[in-house]
Structure 1
Amino acid sequence: MSIKTLFTPLRRLFGYYETYHGNGRPLLKFIGIIGSLTYLSFYLIRFTKPNPKPFDDIGIRAFVITLFALLAAHDQWPEKLKKFYLPYSYAALIVCMPFVNVYVSLERGGGVPAMSNCFIALSFLVMLTDWRNTIAMLLVGISMAASLFFALHPGGHWPADMLAQIPAYLIILIGGGAFKLSEKQIDSEKSRLAAALAGSIAHEMRNPLSRILYALEKMQAVLARPKVHESVKTLEGEQIDALYRHLADSEGAVRRGLQVISMTLDGVSNKPMDATGFRYLSAAEVVQQAVEEYGYESDDARNRVSVKIESDFTFRGDETAYLFVLFNLIKNALYYAAAYPRLHVTLTVGDQQVKVHDTGPGIPADVRKTLFEVFRSVGKSGGTGLGLTYCQRVMHAFGGDIRCDSVPEEFTEFSMTFPKVTDEERERHRLEVIAEARTVLAGKRLLVVEDDEAQRAMTLRKLEAIASTTEIDQAADGQLALRMLAERKYDLVLLDLRMPGLDGYAVAERVRGGDSMNRGVHIVAYSSEPAHLSRFRALQSGMDHFLSKPCAEMQLLANLQHIIRRRGATSVSAASRLAGRRILVADDSAFNRKAIAAYLRNAAAFVIEVEHGAAVLQQLRAQEGIDAVIVDLHMPGMDGLETARAIRASREGWCGVPIVAMTARSDEPAVAAATAAGMNGFLVKPVDALVLYDTLSRLITGGSAMAPHPEAPRTREARAESQDHDGMLNLQRLESYRRLGMLDELLNDYLPEMQRLVSDLQKTVDEGDVQGSIDALHSLLGMSGEAGAQALYQNVRRLYVPLLEEGLWPSGQEWLPQLQALAARTEEALKAYCAQQAASGAAS
């Protein structure tokens, strides 16, 4: 046997050791540190207990500590010596672990300490290398120890307790080896899956990148080689259309690549879906959107896919996630298009199901059993095997399921079943969408530009839900649209693309290129043209968004309110959560109730109005399903605090209903009293609509809202800007009344009532009636705040709070005449504002 043949197995064995400690694993350095400290500390601990014949192994320990210290000093080894570090570590482990511990145990004649040291050494050795080298190191180390011991002690023998521990040593060795083998298999599987995943993504991205390259080549062909002396080249209309078509193809290819990456990463992460962001979706609309937006590889592939709507239905889920599900199923079906020229894919919507049916090769029954397993790919080279697992996870998150039916060489059909949405849920969803759209679009001006009279009328009918708070104009052609845009300021233009004369593209270009007041208006392309062909050109023309026709009412409203998202988006969302809720409002002032009720009804809530605490209890007993109660703290008879205490003490099913205090006082004693009475929220008069929405929505959905809402600095600045030049009126509040159509009520109801309250105050002051004055000031405070009479409200509040808390009249004799004069100026200012708004409305 040659020396080379003899050393080949040894080199292979050491190769396993090198692989185990490859990639910079610092195990040897760490074991060097631990070993040095352990051998030193154990030596010192041994002498804390008396031993008549201790085997003093200080020399051996010093040698072992030195070997371990050299292992720990790996980073300090000279570069030219580091190549010898692994061979050195191999010899050092043999000496420090099995050799030294077995030899010392033999010298001591066994015993518990010696056995423990051997167990510790063996356990560390199992962790420090693979199972082959563990066995090799043990055999070499034990042989060396036995040879040295019996050479020094010819009559010596193996201690019986060491021999008795051999089964335990074997268990450690076998168990550790099995664990290391399992760990290696797991690492190997991870590496394999990582390589497969990288290869799959590369495979999936090849087609989109090829499509982009193809489109760029086509664009280069359209853009002929420039001539040296030609500075300007004019493109023909057909060439421009071709460029836009190729750009659209490129955009679609990029979207498909991003879709593949997102779906693959979601499948690998296997993270649970967050259901809090789910919303109600139309199955037909999402399916149409998926078919329209899918990144097809060719026109032939696009023509192979069709949609069949038998009956639409609503489901609750995440739109993006479900689009990825449909993208994956379409991709799988079209994979076989080249091999099956007659292959066609049909997406059918109906009976709480969406079915994706293809006339491809089919899937055998035995394969279908494992179809939804992770990394399971059937009949496709380069597939990730993650897509169908992702589809199943999404459907389960929606509360539904997905199954596969197939007949080989005939068809494959994936059926997705969704849980039914009740009529009550559907209606609540409709009200939420309408409420949010109303709030977001309140006070905005929309222009619908459409040459087809029937389609224009249909669009206007879909916008009827917001017509009470939003001004909606219409134009039958592009020229008329431009004239209207030159005369009035608009917030959004819903623009058809294909119109005779001046089409939508030209209208958008002229608006963006001009210097009119509407240069920055939101322009939304609203067209039945294929989105993949028209979207890019529409955006290039200066439009902001693209909506496809047909578009259902809820989808249209949802898209519009997303486009015109104003500041205060959190409160807008809060308003939408009040849709369909039953709110009980109690205030002795009918005018205060009317303002609160108007805000709540604008959020699509159902409002019950009462004027005292006893009526609150009556309504709670008579009606089921009241979601919240708003009570004024200061009411005649049973006030707000007594009402709250009575509700909490009733022990009825409604005793836990959220109760919101409403008062002009926001000091700590008022808040403490409301809290003690069992109230959950606090509104300060005059009530701000957004604060009202936010407080109620948080309480109804289980949150907390006890502290009064402080006015943030930006809000104070906004209110300061919203007041007129001498601070008389709060124009922001008056503008909200204008949007709600309440200005006439302000003139006909609020102003006479304010006059009456000022007269009542004069009478109670003349009679020295403190309580009557408190009542009059309380009503006047609420009335002036709700009517936007800013200066009057502030003046009344300065008088009301001290009188209520201390029962003392204001000092001096001029406070009442000053109040009366301020009320008169306020009345004039309110009348002037209403007249100005009426004139402005007539002119427009």
Structure 2
Amino acid sequence: MLYQKLLDFFWQKALNILEHAEPNIPIMGLFGLVGFPLFYFIWSYTFPQEFENFHFRMLIAIVSIPWVFYHYLPSWSKSFFPIYFILSCWIMIPFFFSFMLLKNEWSLVWTMSNMAGLFLLILLINDWLVISLLTTSAYLFASFLVFLLDGNIGYTNFQYEYIPIFLFGIVGSIIFSHKKNIANQTRILLLHSLSGSIAHEMRNPLNSIINAIESLQSIIPDKPGKQEKDKYQQYKLSRSGLISLHNVIEESSEIVIKANKIIDSILAGMQGKSLSTNSFKRITAKSCIHSTINSFSYNTLEEHKLVKDLSKKDFNFFGDKDLLVYVLFNLIKNALHYKKKPGFTIEISTETSSNGNTIKVRDTGPGIPASKKEKIFDEFYTSGKKNGIGLGLSFCKRVLTSFGGQITCNSKENEWTEFILHFPLYHSKEAEYLKKEVLHNKNILIVDNNSNNRRITDKYFSEWHCNTRQVQNGTQALSMLLQQHFDLILINLELPTVSGDEVAKQIRRKKHNPQFPATNYKEIPIIGFSNHSESKRKQRLLGSEMNELIPKPPRRKHIHLLFEKYFFSETEPLIHNPDIFLDNADILIVDDNHTSRKFISFVLERMGARVMQAENGEEALEHLEKNDYELIFMDMEMPVLNGINTTRIIREGKRFKRFGKYREIPIIALTGNTDDANITLAKQSGMNDHLGKPFGKEDLARVLSTWLQPQ
């Protein structure tokens, strides 16, 4: 126990020393690499000394090479560097100078050199205890080595006046360095405490907002479901208004949850913890950039115009969208501080390559001096701005590191600054390591009566560090679900006694079982597997309340695809219930109202359709010429080209060279006016049916059942 405490004590000291010396390590390494061999010639030929040894100096110079390339060392080696730094310091400074001092019998040159070396050691290492241990042990070992080589230790040129001079210089330097370090540590601890308090204080009102939203949601009626129109006639709020109110509440809750996530991440940084990877998914760079530019809180419209999206190539990365958006927020906010500079702009661009991908944020502000570029990512370091506490860029660095990447800065003083966000490839080893971290917290239930299949499937999941449980039949599966939460259930359809389909239905209904854990089993992915052909699997999937069916027995590639779809994808998994199923039908929505398009798209995609959107008739005609669709939802009133005229142009077919189904494709009118005149006008233009706004899922199902003959 005592040994472990001492080990932890000295390891922490090594980390603190390295942190203090880090900005100067490369330049000191270069000084050593050049200086040790260079001074051999000075002390051998220019000012000859009694003892010199070129090979000894070259050996010491080699020790300094990792210092020179410190910022380019692989990440795994940096975990050992604190120990190497202490040992190499001991060799390069106190041992080398003590050995040369004794070999030259305390000559004036080497007495002064030894003093200079000790001052250098004190500058690098800010701990008096470590300095004392290093200098004492180095002098004793150097004395032993000289005695071993020469048979005696000479003090020919030693003078007693050196003792008070050495003591005054060393003790004075240590006291000054120690006081400066204590003051710096006090400042850092104060800022840590202050930042933590601020973050905690922010969390409390946000949680209060969540509680208020939940209270409001419990008071107002539930969202209207199927066949519930009459129930809501007693309320003055319209059905569409009620849906909108719920949507606003849900979006507000989501915003607060995102804010709490950022606060949790900042608090983790304050406490020295790593950022959580639990929310990491497959994210596209352009979606983050688009979200950042459009949701940033600009003070004026002119500020918004200063930020330009130049991203052309998109790429996927494994990480957290909210955290990256926060990083981009921070970079934009910092850059806008210099918006008054003539010709100021902020440009965000992307680059892709086989080695990795990048997002670049470049501004034409005053730039950053070369001497400060390495420091700007340090905690509590600020430059060029008042009232900042220096947490933003250090947090950005933590976020990119948690993604397996890094953030770097290029700048030309008085001209521009460019921050480069480096991301590993989505299928790289770095991303795979992060995925395994996420999957380490996932619980998988395997239901199969074949023990060999269970063992092999378990092996595939275990390769990715998942926690698995195995059962033989549906009864055991339901019993297991009473004991713990599962994130994915894999079930054989051909189970004895009770089929896998029936087990899945019972699992979905367990939401209302009071004995069940607090888990919504309506949403957990349930994957079936069987020997059936693909077409038969699709037929059996309908009404099974499973998410999908895969071939039996599951293979390694199937397991990997499940991970990507259900754990690493931003889209919600589709649960195939007895409702309508569109089987990848291609549908075009033409409506100038963004909210209306969003609602219809969400419902149709949940039914299994592929949806494309257009804001007006002209865009719709372009889409039809490029792609094939099986049905069109067409708003009647739109700018540029309204629904009535668009439908007439489609039915004529003169605008199309490729699209040939202009007479047959069903076109459904979307209109807020459902009087006889408007319905007649829609049909005369060539529309097949109509939906009156607002409409619900059941209205969509009626139209789809009539015109698509869905399964």
Query: TM-score of the superposition, structure 1-length normalised?
Result: 0.27
Query: TM-score of the superposition, structure 2-length normalised?
Result: 0.31
Q: Which one has the largest radius of gyration?
A: 1
